[in-house]
Structure 1
């Protein structure tokens, strides 16, 4: 097969409404059931998109949340809603439809002839978006006419869409009341966050074209304080909207989904599978990751849960102003795979990653003491610095980013870091994404490189492909250690690995001895195709959970299904050809005798 475009897998930071107190569920802080009060009076007659078996409950410790009154199975779509408002990032405006967020290009998408900034699939999408875009269109024209060289960010454009819709819906509508009931942390935010909020508020006023404070009243707000609360609600409750490969596309707001509280070991996940007609997209779906019993709270993760506890807690405090007390954060387990190194005696066990405060580390299996603690500490420190720098450079200077990740991955591995440990897993995932990008664009280079790079030879292309497969394999192994089966990130990573294995080999290796072939990875020839098929079958199973069986694993799951069918046919042809060759050889031998 030709190498189909593979998109870099990354953990998307999801944002939901939270409280500055602790979540409650069997997976988070324990709260007596009698302390939970169902259906606060202020929420009656709104949130009509929430199914009947989901209840909005309020407790003294977790605030509002969603509980299920019936069991949910892995892969079940718990909730499906279209965001109240969404906006593409500036980099995606000419690559996706601003109504349905469907992918396209300059040739397939139709540009708005007035603002020249947004694109649509066709007249259907354009007409559907016009009630909001007619105000947005005027604002964009005014901004560009003022001499600005770029349009406002997706945050400002999304805020503007919410303001115009609430102006049209009115302050008493269910739509506006859902927006106004989003949690605000205006009184709790740190001084450093005020600058961001103030910048957003000032930019929004300018974008809306308001010239006096009194004009804010037309949007159902009485004062600047109301506007500040509105901006705070937005900052706290925005979701990253993604494509089916989990690549970020923009920002969105959905009050029903924002009711869901956080756990670092969630029982559900929010995805955008794109399984509906364009007029219903982008559709947010909350999918169960495991069996959820009746009476249990629905929980998703607001942050990257592959991170160690200290980094997770810091991220939650900085953005959502609470400390997490979920089962993962309060676990007394002797070692967390996110902070682990292999046993120095290679018994198969793991040791906790040593810290400056506690350098003593023992294998949890054989109790061997880790001696090279300084080496591990240095590797983790340098690895984190490299990860921060490589992440910043991954788009502006991918060659430099790849150079950093390629140097630090083996250093961390040689220090004994396990595939699931931080920052090794993060660096491995980033390195994999950069290697895959290079396969699509072999001439991608550092800004300091020569203008052109020679086309790689078949042998060089084979080496690059094999390197990407090895990195993708390590990334999958790391994710298996920290994410639940069926998590979309795991499923996407495994699908990428399967697709890499299924790519035609530019320069297949000559067969070696049986012993040599047993040690080679990745394998070559038919053994490689069989491994690709096995990997893709496993990926489809995980995607079926993470994106829901009704969605057939989402766009990626349906693509994987097609790859499986093709590989099965290819292997059947190979088997048939081998059988015919053996038969012909036998007949030839019989004829000679």
Structure 2
């Protein structure tokens, strides 16, 4: 199986978490116990990569977490570390470097001449990875020699890399101790999870070339129980490595980042913005989404926070074995945009999405939502369409696009707001499918359709994600880039007052108005990217490309505004053309 979609996992005894298997007190202990203090001392000595302005704290009720000792501004990189181990997903092996995770092309990347499975940017990346790949290479060759043409998943290969590194560092080394400090839920697993854990353990033993689990003793795992706990730590604490546009690339483990606890309303995010030095990659960075005060806990989200509370809780329980009690879950707003319907009287207010047998009223004018069955039916078929379109996204994108095209008008007609589920999720998928289907060069109608879909997705994300959230920032950048595409057949300029008024109300606009809107959107995107991917990173790789787009658009608008003559004069003054 692939782990590229597995969300980041952390400790489950948390200040915003209610355990399923442990009865916790409603009040935190003001003074940690002697055991807790001893544990805190041990962890402080191990995690050398955590900077001095952050502190690991623990208590009998909150468990471990990471706190800020001084104020952090929005867009500040709080923590930057390389994962302890990482592996590309099978789908990315021939398109990305297995050392730095940088994107390339098969002719440009250099393939390992022995296992023929992994690729590198150059000899530098290959040499940097050799201490681990020399073991991996033998394992992959052994599998190929057995007649098995399939390459083990990123999960198995990442587990193998951890094992080889354990062996190199020894059982008492700080690296190994950090891995062993990760939370294991092996004793609390649901029956449905046994199959996955058993499959991973058996597959790992075979990948390492052993005939039984007992042979793992040389890696510091003396028994089958040790191996089971090792696998459980991996599953619960795996991060998905992504590219700068948040496309999943593979699986990784980072104990220092795994200490950070969960909230559905986080103050920080985990990203891989790509630094300018490839030797540092893949670099995992924790970036603050807003100002964080001294003695405030650093919190990230383990699940998609655009989902309604019930779905978030289900995902957290199924994957991480806890229920969330953060403020957004414990004291949700009267009307959560994720679960909302427009007022039936059109006052501009919102109603909570209805449930069977309960009336839903507009929070603004108190009007009663009468069409409960229509809304519930629309949500049901919308979720079915979302699940099916997601499954077909890669295998049959045309069919998936047909589903999203047909179902979105039904959800809109039922009154679901842009931020509500499943309308928002379906809109985001619809946008991706439309962009992927754009002809080259683009024609006007498909391009405008993609722009409208991207604008709708932005409206929905803006209602549930804070300014600077990476998902929201990338969506704004995507909309700006679509608006900046040269129009194949722009509408003629308006000549009368009536035509100009009509042009002002048209979306997307055309000509200079479209360019100005693209520029404004990209300027906003750059500001948000600087928050979500770090100001010191210039908003990451995407932020740097957006800056280039802004410069280009400013020049284009200069031509529209000043005329050809003045543009030529400016170019001469700048020295870009001869006099």
In structure 2, which of residues 446, 466, 485 is the aligned counterpart of residue 503 of structure 1?
A: 485
Q: Tell me the residue number matched to 2:334.
A: 334
Counterpart of 2:508?
Answer: 522
**Paired residues of 1:66 and 1:297 also in contact (CA < 8 A):** yes
Aligned counterparts of 2:372 and 2:213: Cα–Cα separation in 1:
60
SS at match of 2:355: coil
Instruction: Give the Å deviation of 1:356.
Output: 2.0
1:470 alignment partner in structure 2: 452
1:563 aligns with 2:549: yes
Unaligned runs of 5+ in 1: 1-10, 443-454, 582-593
1:184-583 equivalences under 5 Å are: 184-358=184-358, 360-439=359-438, 442=439, 461-512=443-494, 513-577=499-563
Go from structure 1 to structure 2 and tell me whether the alpha carbon gap of 1:554 and 1:424 turns closer, same or farther (over 3 Å shift).
same
Distance in 1 (CA, whole Å) between partners of 2:521 and 2:14 is 42
Deviations 1:323-343 (A, max 9, x none): 000010012421000000111
- Count of matched residue pairs: 550
Stretches of structure 2 that go unaligned for 5 or more consecutive residues are 19-24, 568-579
1:481-509 deviation line (CA, Å, top 9, x unaligned) = 00011100010000000000000011112
Find the aligned partners of 2:524 and 2:213 in 1 and give their Cα distance: 58
Judged with a 3 Å threshold, the aligned counterparts in structure 2 of structure 1 residues 60 and 33 are, in CA distance, closer, same or farther, namely: closer
1:478–1:13 Cα change, 3 Å: farther
- Structure 1 residues 547-570: Cα deviation after superposition (integer angstroms, max 9, x where no partner): 111000000000000000000011
Alignment of 1:16-95 (within 5 A): 16-19=9-12, 23=16, 32=28, 34-35=30-31, 40-95=40-95
TM-fit CA distance, 1:420: 0.3
Shift of 1:276: 3.8
Mapped partners of 2:523, 2:26: distance in 1: 39
Q: Please list, as runs of the form range in 1=range in 2, the aligned pairs for 1:105-120 lying within 5 A after superposition.
A: 105-120=105-120
Residue number in structure 1 paired with 2:570: none
Query: Cα distance, 1:256 vs. partner?
Result: 0.2
CA distance in 1, matches of 2:412, 2:31: 48
Cα displacement (A) at 1:107: 1.6
Query: Does the residue aligned with 2:46 lie in a helix, a strand or coil?
Result: coil
Name the CA distance, whole Å, in 2 between partners of 1:110 and 1:31: 57
**What is the distance in 1 between the residues matched to 2:119 and 2:150?**
16
Mapped partners of 1:183, 1:307: distance in 2: 26
Following TM superposition, by how much is the alpha carbon of 1:17 offset from its aligned partner in structure 2, in angstroms?
1.6
Residues 243-286 of structure 1 deviation map (CA, whole Å, 9 limit, x = unaligned)? 00000000100000000000000000000011141111000000
Partner residue, 2:574 = none
| Residue equivalent to 1:585 | none
After TM superposition, where is structure 1 displaced by more than 6 Å over at least 4 residues in a row?
578-581
With 41-50 and 478-487 compared, the bigger mean Cα shift is at 41-50
Contact 1:35/1:60 (8 A) holds in 2: no
Checking the alignment, whether the CA contact within 8 Å between 1:244 and 1:272 is kept in structure 2 is yes
Structure-1-length-normalised TM-score: 0.90
TM-score by length of 2: 0.92
Q: Cα 1:128–1:388, aligned 2, differ >3 Å: closer, same or farther?
A: same
- State the match for 1:452 in structure 2: none
- Summarize deviations over 1:344-395 as a string: whole Å, max 9, x none: 111111000001252x111100111111111100000110111111111111
8 Å CA contact 1:13–1:304 kept in 2: the answer is no
Aligned CA distance change for structure 1 residues 179 and 357 (closer, same or farther; 3 Å): farther
The answer on whether the counterparts of 2:337 and 2:419 sit within 8 Å (CA) in structure 1 is: yes
> Deviations along 1:204-240, whole A, 9 cap, x unmatched?
0000001244421110111011000000000000000
2:136 matched residue in structure 1? 136
Give the Cα separation in 2 of the matches to 1:341 and 1:284: 38
On the 8 A contact 2:14/2:261 being kept in 1, the answer is no
Q: CA deviation at 1:144?
A: 1.3
CA distance in 2, matches of 1:580, 1:73: 42
Superimposed CA distance per residue, residues 50-73 of structure 1 (whole angstroms, 9 cap, x where no aligned partner): 001111111222311101111111
Structure with larger RCO (C-alpha < 8 A, sep 6+): 1
Q: 1:540 to 1:13 in 2, by over 3 A?
A: farther
Contact 1:22 1:324 in 2 (8 A): no
